[in-house]
Structure formats: C-alpha cells, structure tokens
Amino acid sequence: LRLIIAAALTLSVRSGSLQAQNTGVPKSLSLPGGRTSLTLDLTDQDYQLILYSALRDESDTTRTYNFTVAGSFATKPVVDLIGESVHETHDHHSLLRQEEAELALRFRETGVPPATKRAIAFQVGSTRTFVFESFGNVSTLNVTATLAASNSRAEAWIDNNTSAITTAEVQAQIDQFTNSTYPIVTGVFGEPSDVDSDGKVLFLYTELVDQVGGVAGFYRSKSLFSTQDGGDGNVADMMYIGLDQSDTFFESLLAHEFQHLINYNEHVRIRNGPSETAPINEAMSHIAEDLVNQHTQGGNPSNVRTYTSNPSIYSILAESAHDSGVRGTAYTFARSMMESFGDDIPTQLVQTSLSGIANVEDVSGQTFEQVYETYLARMFLAGSGLNSSYEFSYPFFTDPTTGGRSLPVPDERAINPNVLTATGSVKAYAAASIRLMGTGVSSCDITTDVSGEFRGILIPLPRGFQHNVALKPDYFAGYTFDAPITGNYTTGEATRFTGSTTVTENNRILFRFDPVVAGLDTVEFSADIVNGQFALSVLFSHDQAGDYEMSIFSGLQGESILFVGRVPTVHVTPGSGAVDLPTDFFSGIQLDNTVPTEVSAGDAVRLSGTISTTSISKVSFEFTHLVTGEQVATFVGTGSGSFETVFVFTPEQTGSYILKVYAGQAGNNLPLLGEFRGFTVIEGSGEILIPVDFFQGLTLQTGMPTDIASGRAINLSGTVTDSDIEVLIFRFTSDQGDEIQYQIEADQRSFQKGAIFRPSQAGTYKLDVFGGPSGGSLPHQGDFSPIVVTASDGPHFLPIDAFSGMTLDEPLLTELFSGVSLRLSGTLANTTATQIAVRLDSVDGSVRQAEFGDVSSGQFDVTVPTSGMAIGDYTIVVFTGQAGQSLSSLDSVGPVSVVSSQPRASLAASLVAFGSIDIEDTDQQSLTIQNVGSQTLTVDASVSGSAFSTPTSTVTVAAGSSSSITIVFTPNTDGGSTGTLTLSTNDPTRPTIALDLVGTGAATA
C-alpha cells in the first residue's frame, strides 16, 4: 500500500546532500545493516520513498521481508502497509517453464538431440495421433487429429473429438500467422526450432486445452523430443491451442506461444544454454503480442493493472509463479529496458546462452540493481512531468497528446494522513512506495530485515503532487476510446468519453467511482451502446471532490453487467461556480439547454429536448431524495421526436437528490438512460407557484400557488394547446385519500373555473390533471405535489367564476344562515338559455331544495330559501336550458354550509400599515368591518403599542351592513413601530380578531 505520512518526521542527519535534491530527480539509498536515517526539508515539497529487497538468490518466492518507516513520536498509530493476502499461483505455465529448465540442464550434459527427417509429408485430410501429456486437470491422453489446413510455415491439426472450430477458421488463422506474425516475430526474436525438418510449426486445436484450467494455449518443450530424450514422443515443433476464445484473441495467442518456441530454440537447442527464467520469457511473449498490434487482446493492460495495484507482492524473479501481477512487472521491466538500451533488447535477451539476472546484466552493461532502480523510478516518474530526462520519461507509457501517464501509478492508494509509523513487507525484487509529507526540516528512520538486503530510491516531489493519468485508448480489452482515459477530474466540469466496442452484443456501459476513503458516496454514470458506439459524460458535483477507484462495466440493459477494467485511483479536485448538466449528458436524448444542478425551491426546472431514436416514445425524469427517499417524477411523451416538461420543488423538498432518466416505448418498462447524483434544492424566497406550462396539453392563465390558505381563490383557467382536449379534470387527492375534483369544459380551447378550499379541507394534496375528448377517456396530463392547504379564519367566499359556464355578480358566501335565502345572480355564457334552476342538495342526498328563474340575454337572478333546511353541508347544483323543456346540468359546487342564524365578521384587511411620518405628527386609517351574517354584530376594539391608539371603542354592525374603526399612529421615536389591534366580537367563529399595526417614525431635520 502507499502511505501518506503527514506530520513532522524526526530524522537524524546522515546525508546533507539529500536536502539539495532537485524535484523529480531520483537518488539511490543504501541501507547498511538494514537501516538508515534521512533528513529532509519538507517546507514546500514531499518525497516519494521506494523500498525494495535486492536479494538475488531467494529460492522461496513466497517469502517476504519486513520494513518500518518511523518518525520520532512512538505514540502515533502504526499503519500496516501489507496489502491483501494474495496467494502465489503456481499455475500450469510454471510447470512448462520448469520442464524447459530441466530439459535444458539435461541437454547441457548430454548434448541436444539432432533434428530428424519426417518420414512422410502429411497432406490435408491426413490423420495423426499426438500425445497430450498430463497437464493441469487433464490426464495423459492420445489425441487423434486431422490436418485441416496447411501453408508454407504452419499446419493446423484439429482434434477429431471437437467440432468447435472449422477448417475455414483455422486456415484463416494460420494464413495470418504465416503472412504477418511469423516474419515479425522471427525478425525480432530469431528462428524457430525445426525438429522434424519440415520447415513448419504445428498448431494442435483441441478442447483438452480448455479443460486444463487457466490456459488458452501453450508451448511445451517436451513435444520437441522423443521419449528416449526426455520428451513426450511427438517430435514436432508444436503448440497447443484451445477453442474457448473469441476470434480476435487467436492472433495474440499464436504470437505469444510462438515466442516461447523460439526462445527455447535460441537458448537451448542452438546455444545449449539454460532456458530463460519464467518472468523474462513471459515478458518476451507479451512483447511479441505488442509487435503484432495485439497489446490489449493479449492482456497486457490487465497484467499491468494487477501489478500496479499491489507491487510489493509481485517479484520479478518469481520463477515458480505466473500470476498476472508477475507478468505485469516483468513486461513493464522489459519495456523499461527497451527505453534505456534500444529496441533490439528483445533480440539480445533471446539470442543468448545466458538467462535471468546474468542475461540482463550482459545486455545492459549495468548491475541488475541499477537496471531495476531505473525501472522503479521510471514507473513512478513516467507521465508525471517532473523529469524530462529520457531516462525517466518512459515514452511507451506516456500519452503523446496530453503528456499524461498512460498506465496506473504503482500502489497509488493513500492511507491515513496523520500517522507517523508505517510497516510493511516486500518480496525479493518487489517494491513498496511511501509518500513522505510534513513541515519544515524533518527526519525519519528506516529499519528493515537485514536478510532482505534492502535498497531504496528517494524522489523529491511538489507538495501534494498527483499524476495526470491518461490511459491508452485501447487500455481495456474489447473497448477503444477516442481519446486517452483520464484519471483527473474537476467538480463542475464535464468530461466526455466516446468510443467503440467489439463486444457487439452489449448495449450498455457504466462507469462507477468508488471512494477510496469513507465520507463519500459511490458515483455512477452510464450510457447506451448503439451499433458498437458509446458516448458518456462524467460530471461531479462540488461535494464529490476526493479520490476514487474507477471501474468500467458493460453488458445488456436490464441484466447484470460484467466488469471490463479498473483505474485504481482517480482524483476529483474541487472546482467552483455553477454545475450544469451538458445537453448530451443522457444517452439517447439531446437536451435543448444545459440543466442547472442547484436550484432554489420555487424555481422552474425546464427539461426539453429531442430523442435520437424512434424506439423512444416516452421519457421519465425521476428525482429521488437521498435522505428521505421521496420521489418527484413525471412521464412525458415524445410526439414529433421532442419532449418538454417542467419541475418545481417546494420548500418541503429541499435537499440532495439523484436524478434518473428513463426512456423507451410507452406501455413497457422504461430502460435507464443515465443518472446524476448531486442535484440540490436549496431554500428559495417568495411564493411557490406551479408554472403556467407545467401540465401537458394546456397553459394556465396564471401560476398556481402551492401553499394555499382556505378561502383563497385558486384560478383553474387557461387555454388548451392540445386540440384533442375538450374536457379537463383537476383532481386534488389528500394524503388520507380524500378527493376534491373539478371537471371543466374547454370551450373554443379555453377553460375557466375558480375554486377554494374550506378550513375542514386543510391538509397536503397531490394534484393530478386529466384532459381529453368529451365522452372519451381522459389521458393524464401531469401531476404536482405537495400542495399544502392551511386552515384560515373565515368567512370564505366562492369566486365569481366558481361555476363553469357562468359568472356571478359577486363572490358567494360559503355559509348560508338559516332563514336567509341563497341568492344567485350573474351571467350565463350560453345566452340562448331561457331558464335556470338552482338546487341545494344535502351531502347525504336526503334533502333537495330547488328554485327556477328566468334567463334574459344570459342574465339571471334566483333565490333559494333556506327556511326549514337542516344545519349541515350542501352542494349547489345549477341546471340551464329552454323553458318548458328538460334542463341540462351546468355545474355543481360544494360544499356550502347551512348554519344557525348568527353574526359574521368580515374584515377588508389583515394588516394596518402606515407609511413614514415625522415624530409627534399624527396619521390615521380606517378599518372596515362588514357583517355578512344574519344577526347584529358587536365589536369592542383595543390597541397595544405606545405609538398607536383608537378613538373607537365599540361598534355595532347590522346584518348585511358595515362599519369602520379608526386607528391613529403618532410615532414618538425614530424608526419602526409595531402594535396590535384586538377586536372582541360576538361572532361565534371569530370571538377575537388580532391585526398587526406597523408604521415608521422619522426624525425632523
């Protein structure tokens, strides 16, 4: 693991020259007796410390050697740098390399057997029996195979027990091998063996390879020799090829195994030397894959990822282990040698009688430690921009466009920035990295196992340095990006990824960012894959800054998707300013405008755009609160290839949300297009209104309030934009399931209706709007919630447009006093009607009382007596038509209440506000009190607040009349003054009424 030691490190001085090191320039460290001390100036820089075991002759590649890096404060916590336990895999490849070594040793004593002449030349269609010697999960078997294809350099034999590959397929593979792979690989590494003197190599295609376990194909040196010479008796320059692979993999597989054949021939058969050590031999085969442009298909990026994720456990000398991580370090080591000593390094390493460390020292002219330290420094400095020296710039792993690093940094994880002691372990010729941070001149002690023969490298860095990662576009097998894959992001700035995949059956790609430390949430971004192409935007909100592990997945929409690859550490640095979703953020749709990700409650969030495919007929936008789980969502159609919808959040809905967008065919489950985690609703100001264009197919006349006091008129009026809409329904549903519904006719594409809530209807509601043709089904046009209704003091009045198709002369009191008739007068929209009927229906349906009236030029005036009617709630039902004929129902409104005879106070204002007047001057205002009840109203008035007074102590107001109370304002101080007017009444519903008094006194000049 990589550790950050962040505090004053107390070190004893050993080498004053360390403080004079230049940034990005590595310096070797010796550890005599297994320990040393460093003095470092950490005032304005950090240091990268790389420790490794330089033990050359370690035969046990599972053994590890411990180290400790410590400051002076022993009480500080200790961080263990030992990574997850990873068991060495002594896999089947290591058995092959062991066989090569044993045969080489035998032939050095007895001499290499000469090549033999094949008795007969096989023709296509001939059969032959091969020995498949015990290997992995397969016991020794005889394989009868048929020669399916042949050319000048290769033969393809197919196991008679398989039908998993065709003659045409193997012919194409060996033709590509002969025409392309053979000349390239032999031109670099040398000549293949030819033990049967036919000038060809042989590929045996058999499913037995797939049954071995963990191998796709292999070269076995024993196949070269007779049983008398220690071989398996095949006496053929052959390679075994499995069938459980994609077509694109075979080119790299054949090149890889062919290098092993050449390597053994050059080392053993030609020069009678030892076989090459497993790590270097495998490194050469992976370079052979590069030579035939199969870098990714051969798995090199995967091997490098494995190595860099935990470099301390992967030894470059691991002869008996062929773990992916060992291949990763061997491959990058060989690539580093090519950077240092030239492109002919593979040739020199193969065409020799030397192997292992001796081979490296011979071709480099340096000690193995020097070559290895250059490699370690280069693996950290490549693409860093810290050292432009060719020795450390490592062009092969530096993106030529951005100059960034095109492979992960070894062990890039940072651990606990407050600890002063780190312990860990490494294997022989494996390394661990530690970041040293602090303040001022500081020191630390390094203690190691003496038997590990530790050495080190120290590299000065800018404070807080992070690499600019720019992975190669083809870094992940099967996926090619149009630009390098970055590992650095800034909050608020979108990064666009586009590319293609050869896995054509996949239709979805996902980027997942998992936080390295606690305190951050996992962030995901996904997009469709269409015809093998994908485009995806990554955008972090400001609260998502930090370090993450980035993983890529791909598969089929709606099914579990498979892991593609990982970038161990990416950095998201804090940005500033507004964060807007790009117009192309969601796959499959193009937004008309960028979308702000932080909005105030009450602000309209407009989402409109076009669709990219005819397979989308409906789009859904879903906001889910990250704490409460509450959802705000809508569905919108995509008529004519476009869509538009509006969201408004209320003050109760502030907080952080995840926005998910779904799209597909109406009537089916809608697949996910993408999501953004970090949409924030903050407190707003002013009244929250539903925008006039919030609902589909219609435009409201005015914005609709979402916080409504009972008795406040709400305007359900506007125009329809969808010509199919003839009838509208506005349905308010409370949290308890109670419904209040208004049905409105759209006349010449216009509709109008006023409504109020009664105090008894206080609560939280969802509003659904439906609209469609008269007599038909009414499609849903949208919904909004929450709408909060609060109870307020009466009296309450129905607005003049409360009845569809008619306008009242004045607002209608919702209380009918017993003995006082209901009077309804106004104008009908249908001026041809000659008669109107007004009926009072009790809510339980037991009482109906109606009166008829004439209509002239649309004018009407009808009185319905309430004498004898029971106290309770009623609905007003209106019928109109021609006199003498059956009348049609026009509308019904309710409830209205019949109450006992009593006074009722109605005030023209709820606040008495004075302007600014000079101190000691006087101003006065009158407050009108109306008695809308049926009995005399008495009111006693009193005032609090030293600047306010009233000369009116008591007023009496007859039923149906009004009176006024005078309030006097005499400011006695500079600035604002407040007071309260208290009215005590005999109105049983409002025995006490309190009104605020405000005014401002101004000092005279």
- Please identify, among 788, 818, 848, the residue that sits at the C-terminal boundary of a domain: 788
CATH number for position 860 = 2.60.40.2550
Residue 589, SS3 per DSSP: strand
- Please identify, among 899, 918, 941, the residue that sits at the C-terminal boundary of a domain: 899
Name residue, tokens 């030029």: 857
Give the Cα separation of 735 and 226 in Å (integer).
87
- Residue 445 is assigned to a structural domain of this protein: yes
Amino acid letter, residue 604? A
pLDDT for res 91: 58
Residue 905, CB-side half-sphere exposure with 13 Å CA sphere: 27
Residues 232, 187 share a domain: yes
pLDDT for res 500: 95
Contact 7, 76 (CB under 8 A): yes
Residues 6+ positions from 288 with CB-CB distance below 8 Å: 185, 188, 189, 255, 256, 258, 259
Residues 359, 261 share a domain: no
Residues 437, 342 share a domain: yes
b vs e for 272-303, b when ≥16 Cβ sit within 10 Å of the residue's Cβ? ebbbbbbbbbbbbbbbbbbbbebbbbbbbbbb
Name residue, tokens 């002063």: 420
Segments forming the whole domain that contains residue 378:
1-93+296-467
Amino acid letter, residue 675? E
The CA dihedral of 443, 444, 450, 452, to the nearest 10 degrees, is: -110
Residues 6+ positions from 404 with CB-CB distance below 8 Å: 383, 398, 467, 468, 469, 470, 484, 486, 487, 488
Query: For 99-102, which contacts have Cβ atoms below 8 Å and span 24 or more sequence positions?
Result: 99/220, 99/221, 99/222, 100/221, 100/264, 100/268, 100/275, 101/274, 101/275, 102/230
Give the Cα separation of 389 and 381 in Å (integer).
10
Give the Cα separation of 67 and 81 in Å (integer).
9
pLDDT for res 322: 60
Residue 287, SS3 per DSSP: helix
- Please identify, among 836, 868, 899, the residue that sits at the C-terminal boundary of a domain: 899
- Residue 615 is assigned to a structural domain of this protein: no
CATH number for position 533 = 2.60.40.1930
Give the Cα separation of 404 and 398 in Å (integer).
6
**Residue from 499, 656, 496 nearest 585 by CA:** 496
- Residue 140 is assigned to a structural domain of this protein: yes
- Residue 23 is assigned to a structural domain of this protein: yes
CATH number for position 940 = 2.60.40.2310
Q: Which helix (H) or strand (E) holds 371?
A: helix 368-381
Structure tokens at 982: 């208290």
- Count: domains in the chain: 6
Residues 6+ positions from 824 with CB-CB distance below 8 Å: 808, 812, 838, 860, 861, 862, 863, 864, 876, 878
- Residue 652 is assigned to a structural domain of this protein: no
Structure tokens at 44: 């304005």
Amino acid letter, residue 718? G
Phi, psi of 677 (to 5 degrees): -100, 110
Contact 99, 281 (CB under 8 A): no
Structure tokens at 725: 């809409």
Q: Which helix (H) or strand (E) holds 343?
A: none
Query: For 774-780, which contacts have Cβ atoms below 8 Å and span 24 or more sequence positions?
Result: 774/726, 774/727, 774/745, 778/727, 778/728, 778/729
CATH number for position 163 = 3.30.2010.30
Residues 477, 457 share a domain: no
Residues 168, 196 share a domain: yes
Q: Which helix (H) or strand (E) holds 457?
A: strand 454-462
Residues 137, 240 share a domain: yes
Dihedral-angle region of residue 776 (phi above 0 means left; psi in -120 to 50 means alpha; beta otherwise): beta
pLDDT for res 415: 30
- From edge to edge, which strands make up the β-sheet containing 454-462? 27-30, 454-462, 45-53, 431-437, 2-6, 414-415
pLDDT for res 401: 76
- Please state the pTM of the whole predicted model: 0.66
- Residue 4 is assigned to a structural domain of this protein: yes
Q: List the beta strands (DSSP E) in 212-346.
A: 217-219, 238-241
b vs e for 943-977, b when ≥16 Cβ sit within 10 Å of the residue's Cβ? bebebbebebeebebebeeebebebbbbbeeeeeb
- Residue 731 is assigned to a structural domain of this protein: yes
Residues 430, 386 share a domain: yes
pLDDT for res 636: 85
Residues 841, 716 share a domain: no
Structure tokens at 98: 């062991």
pLDDT for res 403: 80
Q: How does strand 598-600 pair with strand 672-682? A: parallel
Name residue, tokens 């602000």: 603
Name residue, tokens 């051969």: 298
pLDDT for res 81: 45
CA angle, 924 as apex, 918 and 925 as ends, to 5°? 135
Give the Cα separation of 468 and 764 in Å (integer).
52
Contact 150, 156 (CB under 8 A): yes
pLDDT for res 10: 33
Residues for the chain: how many in total? 1005
Longest dimension (CA), the chain: 135
- Residue 653 is assigned to a structural domain of this protein: no
Q: How far is CA 811 from the centre of its chain?
A: 54
Structure tokens at 797: 């009045």
Name residue, tokens 């001499």: 111
Q: How far is CA 495 from the centre of its chain?
A: 13
Residues 911, 895 share a domain: no
Residues 301, 152 share a domain: no
b vs e for 595-609, b when ≥16 Cβ sit within 10 Å of the residue's Cβ? bebbbbbbbbbbbeb
Residues 342, 251 share a domain: no
Q: Which residues of the chain have pLDDT under 50?
A: 1-19, 72-90, 413-418
Amino acid letter, residue 599? V
Helix, strand and coil content of the chain, in percent to the nearest 5, comes to 20, 40, 40
Residues 480, 442 share a domain: no
From residue 678, give the alpha-carbon distance in Å to each of 599, 620, 628, 945. 12, 18, 15, 49
